[in-house]
Amino acid sequence: MFRNWTNDPFTGEWAKSPHVFQPGESRYYPEGLAHHFAKHLTDWALIKQGKDTDDQTRPELYAKCFVDVAPIVTADAESTKVEVMNQKQAEVAVAVPVEEKKDARIDNLAKARAAKAAKKAAETAEVAAQ
C-alpha cells in the first residue's frame, strides 16, 4: 500500500495520467506502481528539503511510503492466499540494484503491452466476424 506521508498533496503520474494523493492518504496499488509513486514522492520530498535525490536519508524517506497492513486472507478452498505488504518489503526493495529494478520494470511493461495488443486483436477479430 502506497502512502503520501508528507504534509502536502502529491501528484504522481502514471501512463500520462495524474494521481493526486492528499497528505496522509494511502492507496492499494500493484507493487510496481506503488514503488513508482514512492520513488517520485521521495525525489519530490528531498528536492523540497533542498537535498540531492541521492541524499543519505533517501532509504528512510522511501520506506515511509509504504504502510504496514494486516494480512489479507482470501478464503479459497483450494488455495489460501496471504498477501502481506509491510515495511520489510519496502526495505528489501531499496536494496535491489537499480539495473535489476529497471529490467523488471521493462519486463512488466512488455507484458502489459502484449496483453493490451492481444485484447485489441481479439476485439478486432470479433468485429470482423460480425
Among 37, 108, 106, 97, smallest CA distance to 66 is for 37
What pTM, to 2 d.p., does this model score?
A: 0.53
CA distance 82 to 114: 28
Question: Which tens digits make up the pLDDT trace of 90-121?
Answer: 444 444 455 555 566 667 777 778 788 888 88
Percent of the chain whose pLDDT exceeds 70: 70
User: For the ranges 31-35, 65-69, 89-93, which has the lowest average pLDDT?
Assistant: 89-93
Question: Which tens digits make up the pLDDT trace of 19-28?
Answer: 999 999 998 8
Q: What Cα–Cα distance (Å) separates residue 12 from each residue in 32, 40, 63, 118?
A: 14, 7, 17, 28
Alpha helices in the chain (DSSP H): 31-48, 58-63, 87-95, 98-129
Domain segments of the chain as ranges: 2-95, 96-130
